[in-house]
Amino acid sequence: MLGIVFTSLIEMLEEKVSPEFADEIVQEAGLETKGSYIAVGRYPFDDLVKILQVLEEKTGKTFDNLQHDFGFYLFGRLAQSHGQVMAGRESVLDVLEVLDDDIHVQVKALYPDADLPHFTVLSRTEKAMRLRYESSRDLFALAEGLMDGAAAHFGDELTRETIKTATPHTYEFSLSVV
Ligand code: HEM
């Protein structure tokens, strides 16, 4: 997993709670990196799982809820730091339509080490979309948070439903905007 994911998560904890809280979480997670990440580095996915597990214990929120909160925050950070990747996109559905063919392709060009998920647009109308998400990491709740973060960014009112398909590591999102 790219360092930018970890630096953003730690930053969120510092901002939303406190720098002390962020330190405490990182310490308790018992990470080899001891929480010193650099944005362009690459680190074990398991570190993310460990941090979220400690947060689960500390906050009483579920693993999925924590992923969602983080995804929401992460979209804002990525949109801010990678404005050029988002250029010309005007709605959450616009972004999702080009996620796999453009946005994450640009991300891969910037960070060749990135382990990106796979998104397929199953259908699209002006106001609705069905989108398939596939990733061995099963971060569908992070994806939900990123989508809600994108909707907030564009001022879109997004309604969505997630369906776990019979295929392992595969989810479908049914999305609509008003
Ligand atoms: C609503 C829009 C987006 C969605 C739903 C989305 C979804 C995701 C998900 C679910 C992951 C976690 C990896 C996995 O599932 O296996 C991910 C990783 C990532 N995405 Fe996106 N993404 C979005 C927009 C963006 C944008 C705008 C950028 C940058 C400009 C970006 C950059 C990245 C990066 C850097 C990673 C980390 C890859 C790694 O750890 O190796 N994403 N994305």
Q: For residue 125, what is the domain's CATH number?
A: 3.90.1520.10
| Domain end call among 44, 60, 76 | 60
173 and 93 inside one domain: yes
Closest C-alpha to ligand 1, atom 29: 78
pLDDT in tens, 60-70: 999 999 999 99
Specify if 68 maps to a domain: no
95 inside domain: yes
Cα–Cα nearest to 111, from 43, 45, 40, 48: 40
**Pocket residue to mutate for ligand 1, from 146, 154, 160, 170, most atoms within 8 A of Cβ:** 146
Cα separations in angstroms, 169 against 109, 134, 155, 172 = 25, 6, 30, 10
Average pLDDT over residues 75-100: 95
Domain span at 159 = 89-177
Query: How many other CB atoms sit within 10 Å of the CB of residue 16?
Result: 11
Q: Which atom of ligand 1 is nearest to the CA of 115?
A: 41
In DSSP terms, which residues pair with 133 in a beta bridge? 119, 171
Q: Are residues 94 and 164 in the same domain?
A: yes
| Residues with a CB atom less than 6 Å from ligand 1 | 1-2, 4-5, 75, 78-79, 82, 85-86, 95-96, 99, 103-104, 107, 111, 114-117, 135, 137, 139, 142-143, 146-147, 150
Asked if residue 158 is part of any domain, the answer here is: yes
Ligand 1, atom nearest to 150 Cα: 1
Total count of domains within the chain: 2
Please state, in angstroms and rounded to a whole number, the distance separating the CA atoms of residues 159 and 52.
26
In this prediction the pTM is 0.97
d(CA 67, CA 73): 10
**147 inside domain:** yes
With tokens 């907030």, the residue in question is: 152
CB 85 within 8 A of CB 94: no
User: Across the strands, what pairs with 173?
Assistant: 131, 162
What is the residue with the minimal CA distance to atom 40 of ligand 1? 1
Q: Quick one: 107 and 163 in the same domain?
A: yes
pLDDT in tens, 6-56: 999 999 999 999 999 999 999 999 998 888 899 989 999 999 999 999 999
| DSSP letter assigned to residue 114 | -
